[in-house]
Amino acid sequence: MPESSGHATASTRPQALPSWLRLALLGSLAPVLWLQGRYVRRVTPRLPEPPGPRTGTVGAGPALRVLIAGDSAAAGVGAADQAQALSGQLLHHLAAHYTVHWDLWATTGHDSPALQARLDQASPQAFDVVVLSMGVNDVTALRAPTAWVQHQERIASTIQTKFGPRLLVHCAVPPMHAFSALPQPLRWFMGQWAHAMNAGLHRAVAASPWRRLHALPSQNAQQGLASDGFHPGPAGYAAWGQALASHVLAELQRGASGP
């Protein structure tokens, strides 16, 4: 698959996985999944991160400090420029209500350990809202869902300590069952793995007053994909950015309070 090295980590021990994943990995599907994964990595085009600013100030109204961090989707791969990407679409909608001081920390190929390392190196500073896009590269690396959720807990703790936001939004792992770059049964397998990760994260953030899980728009998901069949295209980012902005605005109006 794009972005991932494809090497399983120690967290993918069979006993750490749901039963259906163990059966798929250890049963007759394993050779098919392995061959399909190699094929997808070989033939899927690697799109670049789009040009455009990664920090700035937009809008009018009360000040709002926003950090967007994560992987290639956060970086806008599949869009022509950052204005079409997640950051541009999200900021466009937030700027109608706030003066948004924003930063984008996102890199193609980043998985949860890489994001943790990036956050560990960051200097303490204040953000009101932090948005994370993370998970696809953890799926393709076969990181166990339970281990992935534990990574998100550590990432949230680091964000709490260094940035003290009022709101942390975890964007759900996207609907990989709709990624046209993935043949069947690999598409089904990756989709199920992503679903298990999202279900675990939903349980982890359910009781938190300052963390939320944002499910990506799933209707007509394939129509929103870029030419690589793996990342959002402009239409996908537009739908994602609008829905995410509505979620953020609703939480701020509700009075989401930081840790």
Domain boundaries in the chain? Answer: 18-254
What is the pLDDT confidence band of residue 84, given thresholds at 50, 70 and 90?
very high
Distance in angstroms (rounded) separating the CA atoms of residues 104 and 70:
9
Strands (E) in 80-238, as ranges, are 99-106, 129-133, 167-171, 211-214
Question: What is the arithmetic mean of pLDDT over 45-62?
Answer: 96
- Strand pairing report for 99-106 and 55-59: antiparallel
Angle between helices 145-163 and 112-121 (to 10 degrees): 10
For residue 216, the one-letter residue type is: L
What is the pLDDT confidence band of residue 241, given thresholds at 50, 70 and 90?
very high
What is the pLDDT confidence band of residue 23, given thresholds at 50, 70 and 90?
low
146 or 13, which is more confident: 146
The region that residue 193 occupies, defined by phi over 0 for left and psi between -120 and 50 for alpha, beta otherwise, is alpha
pLDDT over 90 (residue 224): no
Handedness of CA 88, 111, 64, 244 (dihedral sign): positive
Q: Write down the mean pLDDT value for the chain.
A: 88
pLDDT of residue 19: 63
pLDDT of residue 81: 98
Distances from the Cα of 47 to the Cα of 72, 82, 109, 233, angstroms: 10, 14, 12, 11
Percentage of the chain modeled with pLDDT above 90 = 72
Question: What is the arithmetic mean of pLDDT over 231-257?
Answer: 92
11 or 92, which is more confident: 92
Question: What is the arithmetic mean of pLDDT over 127-132?
Answer: 98
pLDDT of residue 3: 45
> Looking at the domain covering 18-254, what would its CATH class be?
alpha beta
pLDDT of residue 22: 62
pLDDT of residue 29: 76
pLDDT of residue 112: 98
Neighbours of 124 (CB within 10 A): 8
pLDDT over 80 (residue 95): yes
pLDDT of residue 8: 33
pLDDT over 70 (residue 85): yes
pLDDT of residue 101: 98
